[in-house]
Structure 1
Amino acid sequence: MESVVNKTLLTQSFSGKKVFITGHTGFKGTWLSVWLKELGAHIKGYALAPENKQCIFNVTHPYDNAESVIADIRDKERLKTEIVAFQPEFIFHLAAQPLVRRSYEIPSETFAINAIGTAHLLEAVQQVTGKCTVLVITTDKVYENKEQDRLYTEEDILGGYDPYSASKACTELVVRSFRDSFFNTNTYSRHLKAIASVRAGNVIGGGDFSRDRIIPDIITALKTKEEIFVRNPSAVRPWQHVLEPLGGYLLLASKLHKDISYSGAYNFGPEPADHLTVKELVEQAIATWGSGNWKDGSDPGAPHEARLLQLSISKAKQQLNWLPKLNAPQAVQWTIDWYRQPVHEAASFTLNQINRYMAL
C-alpha cells in the first residue's frame, strides 16, 4: 500500500497555500520549512534568531525561501500583526522553550513562552478572516508520567514534573480552551478555524546543534574523538527521525483542513520496538559512525528527568493511516549521514532526505 505521506498527496494539499510557521529557525521548524517549500507552499516564519551559526536554519536558508520575521512569541501585538497581514490558510506552531534542563533555570520564562505564547497565537487566529487550520506542536512529556511500563494514549491525564513538561501540559489546556470557547467544532461553518495538538516523541536528525540534547553531544564527541558523556543511560525514550512526526503533522493538517472531525490531540512516535534506552541509542550511533566510546555521567544531584516514557501511536495509525517509515537503526543512520556531509552540501542533502522519505 502506498504511503499517505508522499509527495503527490502532500503537494495537492499544500501547493500554493499560505503557511505560517512559528519557530521556523529551530531544528524541527527548519526541516518543516524546507519540506513545505518543496511542496510549493508560500511560507512566512516567525521566530527568534537562531542560537548559533552552524544551525540547520543557516545552512538550509536558501532552500526554504520563506518570508522570515525575527521576533518573540511573547510579543502579542507583533505576532497578531504578522498573522493578520499574512492571512494564513495553515499555521504550524513550533515556537517554544524546548529543553527540560533549561526549564529548571528559567521556569517562569518557560511557562510564558510555551503556554502564554500559544494563547497569543490562538487569540490572533480569531482575526484571520478565512479558513485556517492550526497545528500546535507540544511534546510526549505532557502526560502525568508514572514511569510505568505502558504506552501513553491521547486520553491519558495531562501532567508534568519539571517546568518544561508542565508548561506543555498547560499549552494543551490552552488549546482545549480556545477550541471550546472560540473555535468550537459544532460551529465550524461560522468561524472556519480547525485546531489540533500533536505530541511527538524524542526527535533526532541532522542539523540539531542545541545544547543539552543527546545527538549534538554524540556528534561533537565523535568528531573530536572524545568520550560521549551520557547523563541517563538507562532512560527509555520514543526516539524517531525528525521527518517522521513532521510527516504526521503534514498529513493531519491536510486531513483536518478538509474535515473538522480530525480536530483533537494525536501522538506521533515510533513502533514500541524502537523505544530505546539512551545507552542503546548512543551505542547504535557509535556503531554507525564506526568508532567512539561513551561514559556514564549520571549525577544523582541533577534535576529530575523521567527515566521511562513510551507513546501509543494507535490513534494516528487508525484514524490517519499514518505509520513510521524508519526503524531506530535507520533513523540513526539517516542522522549520522547528515552530519558526515560537508557544510556546503548540507542544504542539498537535507532536501534529498526529504524527497527520499516521501518516496519510501
Structure 2
Amino acid sequence: MRVLLTGITGFAGSHLAEYILNHHPEVEVFGLIRWRSRRENIVHLENKITLVEGDLKDIVSLKKILAVVKPDWIFHLAAQSFVPTSWKCPAETFSINAIGQINLFEAILDLGLSPKIQIAGSSEEYGLVFEDEIPIKETSPLRPLSPYAVSKVAQDLLAFQYWKSYGLRTVRTRGFNHTGPRRGEVFICSNF
C-alpha cells in the first residue's frame, strides 16, 4: 500500500507519518514538500519515507507526482493554517487551501486514480457557536469567522461535491485543538 501525505513536514503530518511507519511498516510513505519546506519535523524519518517536491497550486507538478506515486491513500493535511495570516493574506490562504485541493482532486481525476482521501478540516469551520449549541456536534451549523475558516469550509464542501459528482472517495474530518512535540511556536494553547 502507498500513502501520500500532503503537509508531511507540519505538526500533524509528521506525527501521522511516524504513526504509519511504526504501526504499518509494510506501507510506503510519500510526503509532498515544497522546495522551501522546513524539514526539522521529519529529519528523523527521512531515511524511511520518500519526499516528492511539488506545489498544490501547480496542477502539473501534482499530476507528475501522482502518476509516479499512485497512492492508495492520501492524507491531505497541507494548508495555510495560521488564522492571523489568513486575515493578512486572505486570497493566498484560499488559494493554498481550497484551490490547492481542487488541483489535487482534478489531478486525481485526470489520471484515473481512485485513492481514499482524508481532508483535514478544522473546528474553526463552526465559527460562531451559541451557548445552547454546546457541545458542538458534526451536525452543528458552519458559521466561519475568519478567512482561514471560510477556506476550510470550502474544502469540506468541495470534498462532498467531488464525492457526489465524481465518486471521489473522500473522508472529511474536523480536528479540534491539538498540541504536542513539534507544534509550531506561532500556535498557542489556552492556559487555564
Change (3 A) 1:130 1:120: closer
1:180 is matched with 164
What is the CA–CA distance in structure 2 between the aligned matches of 1:131 and 1:117, rounded to whole Å? Answer: 18
Q: CA deviation at 1:179?
A: 1.0
Pairwise CA RMSD of aligned residues?
1.9
Note the residue ranges of structure 1 that are not aligned, 5 or more in a row.
1-16, 184-192, 216-277, 281-360
What is the CA–CA distance in structure 2 between the aligned matches of 1:163 and 1:37, rounded to whole Å? Answer: 34
Q: CA deviation at 1:146?
A: 2.8
Work out whether 1:213 is the aligned partner of 2:187: yes
2:141 is matched with 157
2:41 is matched with 56
1:139 is matched with 122
Looking at secondary structure, tell me which structure has more helix per residue. Answer: 1
Work out whether 1:102 is the aligned partner of 2:85: yes
Determine helix, strand or coil for the equivalent of 2:139.
Answer: coil
1:85 is matched with 68
Work out whether 1:203 is the aligned partner of 2:189: no
Cα offsets for 1:30-61 (capped at 9, x unmatched): 1111111221210111123434x6x3223x23
Work out whether 1:31 is the aligned partner of 2:21: no
Determine helix, strand or coil for the equivalent of 1:115.
Answer: helix
Q: What is the total number of aligned residue pairs between the two structures?
A: 188
What is the CA–CA distance in structure 1 between the aligned matches of 2:45 and 2:66, rounded to whole Å? Answer: 21
TM-score (norm 2): 0.89
- Decide which of 19, 22, 28 is 2:3's aligned counterpart: 19
Note the residue ranges of structure 2 that are not aligned, 5 or more in a row.
none
Contact 1:103/1:162, CA 8 A, preserved across alignment = yes
TM-score (norm 1): 0.49
1:168 is matched with 152
Change (3 A) 1:77 1:137: same
